């Protein structure tokens, strides 16, 4: 794959194919209302394999090329979703493109009939697709994943998946889910049907089955670069580019860092600075997650930050209430020697009454026995073997931040699967 990427980098831009997917964003008022709905917001949890069964479920010279379009909308300023088609003839679904997970699932008719939060979703009908097939004998057939909010389960199958109008991925393994109770009311009001994970296969509930991205690369010779780029518009349209990145979106050079390990998109952080304070210096890592809206810090750091603002924790929304007049410093993450700055105004949410403000840094929980954010035991074992230490996808002694769209919309991001690198650049 490295040779493939190197050769592709030598080609003119017109010879490198990409799929370009426009994205848009919920109005800030609608996002705030959903986030501050009691019971709808649950902080993610990563767990050490030592304490339980653990964790949820391009080279710099590469170039971009114009391609097909898929209309995508952003749910809750965090979940960017768009149309994906499955089957022959095609059945259309809205799916979240999520760098924090690696599975692809859509609802079944049983889900829309029996699950209260699934009634209005688009259901996949295997009997209506001539390209549908059950998984091969001996392959994993049952699907079960735990997200931070709860379980989703169903059965694996295979069918043709289409991205945009011209990119078919044949015999793609995906899950047809029948149980979505664990996603709660958030899923009921969401505009997406399913999730298409963009993390590494080791996080998948079926790591022996290639992901959509991997199959696309292997089946379509015009897609020569196994990478993608995200521009997350802030009150403006954005774009997901598959097969490269969009040079017109960036200013200056791309800063690249090697991933700590190819599980989540987890990158080393040089330091974290909050105003004049240094919160972390060379001992942090960041999970880059397009499926998460806010920033989640290690619990001790989040608590200290909130206390310095006079914050009061509201368990109903899992956020700290602060005085709207409290000055909040900018937050800087130094990654690869370059600062990613989150301005103070993006660290505060104000409710629709205008009377209450909430600090948008929440706690990332680690090691809690009560956690619902767990992967299957075999996935944890694989991560443990890869890391050589614990089930967490970072070296021992490092704390971990979960960096969602609050950070990712400040920059253009490039996700290089082949080279296991994360890149970012200033926005044009």
Q: What is the pLDDT of residues 108-151, one digit of tens each?
A: 999 999 999 999 999 999 999 999 999 999 999 999 987 656 78
Residue 370 inside a domain? The answer is yes
Of the candidates 212, 182, 222, 373, which has an alpha carbon nearest to the alpha carbon of residue 296?
373
Contact 156, 175 (CB under 8 A): yes
**Cβ neighbours of residue 260 closer than 8 Å, sequence gap 6 or more:** 266, 267, 268, 285, 393, 394, 395, 398
Highest mean pLDDT among 32-36, 267-271, 390-394, 400-404: 267-271
Query: Is 141 inside any structural domain?
Result: no
For residue 108, the 8-state DSSP code is B
CA 112 – CA 95 distance, rounded (Å)? 16
Q: Which of 168, 193, 289, 418 is catalytic?
A: 289
pLDDT at 185: 79
pLDDT of residue 351: 82
**pLDDT exceeds 90 at position 52:** no
* Residue 326, pLDDT score: 95
Three-state DSSP at 258 gives strand
Q: Is residue 394 part of a domain?
A: yes
Residues 403, 290 contacting (CB under 8 angstroms): no
Quick check: 358 pLDDT over 90? yes
Q: In the chain, how many domains are there?
A: 1
**What CATH number is associated with residue 421?**
2.40.70.10
pLDDT for 385 equals 52
Distance (Å, whole) CA 200 – CA 210: 10
CA distance 339 to 255: 10
Using an 8 Å Cβ cutoff, are 43 and 320 in contact? no
Q: How confident is the model at residue 1 (pLDDT cuts 50, 70, 90)?
A: very low
Domain span including residue 388: 1-81+210-428
pLDDT of residue 125: 98
Task: Provide the pLDDT for residue 47.
Answer: 42
Inside any domain, residue 327: yes
In the 8-state DSSP scheme, what is residue 389?
A: S
**Predicted confidence (pLDDT) at residue 291 exceeds the cutoff of 60:** yes
Phi, psi for 64 (deg, rounded to 5): -105, 170
Instruction: Please report the pLDDT score of residue 140 as a whole number.
Output: 95
Cα separation values, 85 from 89, 172, 213, 424, Å: 9, 12, 15, 30
At 62 the pLDDT is 29
Is the pLDDT at 340 greater than 90, yes or no?
Answer: yes
Query: What pLDDT is recorded for position 271?
Result: 97
Question: In this structure, is residue 363 part of a structural domain?
Answer: yes
Angstrom distance (rounded) from CA 13 to CA 6: 14
Q: Which two three-digit tokens encode residue 411?
A: 């920059």
Q: Is the pLDDT of residue 387 over 90?
A: no
Q: CA of 201: how far to CAs of 22, 48, 210, 212, 304, in Å? A: 25, 20, 7, 10, 36
- Tell me how far CA of residue 412 lies from CA of 174, 271, 422, in angstroms: 29, 20, 11
**Does residue 3 carry a pLDDT above 90?**
no
57 confidence band (pLDDT: 50, 70, 90): very low
Q: Per residue in 98-126, is it b (16+ CB within 10 Å) or e — as a string?
A: bbbbbbbbbbbeebbeebebbeebebbeb
Q: By the 8 A CB rule, do 189 and 142 touch? A: no
* Cα 114 to Cα 124: distance, rounded to the nearest angstrom: 15
- Specify the pLDDT at position 67: 34
98 is catalytic: yes
Mean pLDDT for 383-393 is 50
Rounded-to-integer distance, Cα 96 and Cα 80, Å? 5
Q: What is the DSSP string of 302-321?
A: HHHHHHHTT-EEETTTTEEE
Using DSSP's 3-state secondary structure scheme, residue 420 falls into coil
23 domain-assigned: yes
Burial class (CB in 10 A: 0-12, 13-18, 19+), 351: middle
Q: What is the mean pLDDT of residues 336-342?
A: 98
Taking residues 345-374, what's their average pLDDT? 71
Least trusted range by pLDDT, from 180-184, 212-216, 420-424: 180-184
Residue 28 pLDDT > 80: no
- For residue 399, the SS3 value is strand
Q: Is residue 9 part of a domain?
A: yes
Tokens, residue 275? 């105003």
Residue 53 pLDDT = 31
Q: How confident is the model at residue 272 (pLDDT cuts 50, 70, 90)?
A: very high
In a domain, residue 423? The reply is yes
What is residue 22's three-state secondary structure?
A: strand
State the average pLDDT over residues 279-286: 91
Catalytic residue among 98, 159, 246, 418: 98
Return the minimum-mean-pLDDT range out of 70-79, 108-117, 306-315, 417-426: 70-79
For 55, half-sphere exposure in the C-beta direction (CA atoms, 13 angstrom radius) is 27
Per-residue pLDDT of 72-115, as tens digits, reads: 333 333 456 778 999 999 999 988 888 988 899 999 999 999 99
Report the chain's mean pLDDT, rounded to a whole number.
80
The pLDDT assigned to 41 comes to 60
pLDDT of residue 302: 94
């Amino acid at each position: 794959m490295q040779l493939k990427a190197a050769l592709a980098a030598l080609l003119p831009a017109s010879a490198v194919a990409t799929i370009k997917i426009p994205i848009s964003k919920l109005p800030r008022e609608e996002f705030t209302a959903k986030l501050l709905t009691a019971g709808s917001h649950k902080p993610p949890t990563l767990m050490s394999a030592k304490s339980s069964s653990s964790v949820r479920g391009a080279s710099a010279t590469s170039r971009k090329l114009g391609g097909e379009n898929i209309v995508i909308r952003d749910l809750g300023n965090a979940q960017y979703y768009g149309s994906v088609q499955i089957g022959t003839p095609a059945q259309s679904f809205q799916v979240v493109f999520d760098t924090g997970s690696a599975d692809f699932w859509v609802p079944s008719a049983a889900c829309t009939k029996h699950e209260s939060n699934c009634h209005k979703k688009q259901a996949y009908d295997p009997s209506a697709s001539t390209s549908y097939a059950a998984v091969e004998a001996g392959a994993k057939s049952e699907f079960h994943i735990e997200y931070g909010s709860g379980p989703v389960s169903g059965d694996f199958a295979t069918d043709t998946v289409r991205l945009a109008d011209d990119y078919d991925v044949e015999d793609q393994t995906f899950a047809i889910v029948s149980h979505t109770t664990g996603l709660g009311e958030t899923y009921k009001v969401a505009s997406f049907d399913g999730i298409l994970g963009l993390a590494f296969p080791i996080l998948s509930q079926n790591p022996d089955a290639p992901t959509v991205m991997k199959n696309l690369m292997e089946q379509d010779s015009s897609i020569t670069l196994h990478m993608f780029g995200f521009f997350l518009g802030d009150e403006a349209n954005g774009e997901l580019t598959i097969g490269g990145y969009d040079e017109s979106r960036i200013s200056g050079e791309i800063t690249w860092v090697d991933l700590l390990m190819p599980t989540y998109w987890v990158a080393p952080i040089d330091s974290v600075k909050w105003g004049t304070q240094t919160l972390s210096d060379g001992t942090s890592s960041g999970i880059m997650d397009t499926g998460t809206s806010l920033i989640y810090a290690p619990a001790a750091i989040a608590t200290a930050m909130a206390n310095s603002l006079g914050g009061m924790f509201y368990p109903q929304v899992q956020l700290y209430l602060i005085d709207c007049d409290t000055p909040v410093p900018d937050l800087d993450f130094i990654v690869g020697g370059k600062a990613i700055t989150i301005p103070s105004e993006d660290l505060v949410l104000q409710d629709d009454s205008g009377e209450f403000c909430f600090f948008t840094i929440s706690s990332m929980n680690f090691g809690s026995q009560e956690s619902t954010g767990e992967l299957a035991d075999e996935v944890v074992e694989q991560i443990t073997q890869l890391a050589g230490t614990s089930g967490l996808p970072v070296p021992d002694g490092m704390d971990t931040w979960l960096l969602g769209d609050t950070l990712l919309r400040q920059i253009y991001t490039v996700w290089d699967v082949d080279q296991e690198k994360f890149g970012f650049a200033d926005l044009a």
